């Protein structure tokens, strides 16, 4: 029986799978993360009056840098030559039902390569969220990062996939 674990060899040792036999195709992945915070914290982010400066611009740059360096962070990821990366932020003020404000981060990553960019998109969204936390923690230590996940991907053997409701 063939080993069902793709990153484990016949001896049971972890290894990076070969992708040299796979054709290079256009690949895209979109991932998200949310940062929940107090209303006042969101106001400081939006007005640029946070203790460390322009939170949104810094989070976008951090996410793009993280996407480019994913293979240095995740041991079995292949280095991929990205052709594009975008970090979009959407803001939701609190309502009576939801007492906390939310920053939704969507990271979209593109490549023309032999393997997918899902991990690059997830690392980008996560790092952008962590950067928002870092830049605002002096005024709101109880922010939370939630809902980190893949929303969609295209290209490769599995084709196009989209999370229901995304």
Residue 8 lies in a domain: no
- pTM over 0.95? The answer is no
Residue 10 lies in a domain: no
Residue 3 lies in a domain: no
Residue 41 lies in a domain: yes
User: Which pLDDT belongs to residue 108?
Assistant: 98
User: Which pLDDT belongs to residue 1?
Assistant: 47
Residue 139 lies in a domain: yes
User: Which pLDDT belongs to residue 3?
Assistant: 54
Residue 117 lies in a domain: yes
* Residues marked as catalytic: 134
Which long-range contacts link 159-163 to residues 24+ away (Cβ below 8 Å)? none
User: Which pLDDT belongs to residue 45?
Assistant: 96
For residue 60, give the CATH number of its domain. Answer: 3.30.70.640
Residue 6 lies in a domain: no
User: Which pLDDT belongs to residue 103?
Assistant: 98
Unique residue bearing structure tokens 């940062």:
35
Give 107's contacts (C-beta < 8 A, 6+ positions apart).
Answer: 30, 31, 32, 33, 63, 67, 85, 86, 87, 88, 121, 122, 124, 125, 128
Residues 29 and 109: beta-carbon distance below 8 Å: yes
Cα–Cα distance for residue pair 117/84, rounded to 1 Å: 11
Structural domain of 101: 26-155
User: Which pLDDT belongs to residue 95?
Assistant: 85
Unique residue bearing structure tokens 């032999």:
114
- R_g of the chain, CA atoms, integer Å: 18
pLDDT tens series, the chain, 166 aa: 455 667 777 777 776 776 777 888 999 999 999 999 999 999 999 999 999 999 999 999 999 999 999 999 999 899 999 999 999 999 999 888 889 999 999 999 999 999 889 999 999 999 999 999 999 999 999 999 999 999 999 998 888 989 998 7
Residue 134 lies in a domain: yes
Number of structural domains the chain divides into: 1
């Amino acid at each position: 029986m063939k080993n069902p674990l793709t990153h484990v060899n016949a001896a049971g040792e972890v290894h990076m799978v070969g992708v040299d036999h796979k054709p290079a195709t256009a690949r895209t992945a979109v991932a998200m993360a949310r940062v929940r915070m107090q209303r006042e914290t969101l106001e400081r982010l939006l007005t640029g009056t946070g203790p460390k400066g322009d939170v949104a611009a810094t989070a976008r740059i951090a996410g793009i840098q993280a996407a480019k360096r994913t293979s240095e962070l995740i041991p079995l990821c292949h280095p991929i030559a990205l052709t594009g990366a975008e970090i979009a932020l959407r803001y939701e003020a609190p309502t009576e039902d939801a007492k906390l404000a939310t920053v939704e981060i969507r990271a979209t990553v593109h490549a023309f390569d032999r393997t997918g960019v899902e991990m690059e998109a997830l690392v980008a969204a996560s790092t952008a969220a962590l950067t928002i936390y870092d830049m605002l923690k002096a005024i709101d230590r109880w922010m939370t990062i939630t809902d980190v996940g893949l929303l969609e991907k295209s290209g490769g053997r599995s084709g196009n996939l989209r999370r229901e409701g995304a």
